[in-house]
Amino acid sequence: MSAETARITKEQLIAELNNDLAKEYQALIQYVQHAAVITGPQYDAIAAELVVHSNEEHQHAISLSDQIDFLGGVPAVDVAEVHVSEVSKVMLEQDLDGELDAIRRYKTRIGQAESLQEYGLRRALEDILIIEEEHARDLQNALDL
């Protein structure tokens, strides 16, 4: 465990979780928009999958809001900047960037929860991380990466 991880306070962790929450709302909205406008027969399967992703981001927002409340914080209602494009491939790249960022953030957050002995939070974050990794794989497959 790094010194930086060990130094985090509960208040700092709540602030980080609210930042994560804003990005879950961003992802939810972004997937709804991308699923609706993405075009091209090669993207039919992933278009349906983006709707599934959107619903899962909604579940993540609910889980994070509950966890922030359990920690004594107030869940925020901010939405991080949503990325849109007129180019289907670019949309998927924007979505993948978001997922890779989420994976990095949640790995850090799991370490921070562990350092504060918030094991219930850690478990909730691990469940979210598993889904974000699936999302990233879906997008990488659709992009032939």
Binding residues for Fe ion, rule: CB under 5 A, are 24, 57, 60, 99, 132, 135
Q: How far is the CB of 9 from Fe ion (least distance, A)?
A: 25
Q: In this complex, which beta carbon is closest to Fe ion, that of residue 9 or of residue 141? A: 141
> Nearest distance from residue 7's CB to Fe ion, in Å?
26
Neighbours of 54 (CB within 10 A): 18
Cβ atoms of residues 135 and 103 within 8 Å: no
Question: How many helices (H) and strands (E) in the chain?
Answer: 5, 0
Smaller CB distance to Fe ion: residue 3 or 32?
32
Tell me how crowded residue 102 is: count the other CB atoms within 10 A of its CB.
Answer: 24
Q: Report the nearest approach of Fe ion to the CB of residue 68 (Å).
A: 15
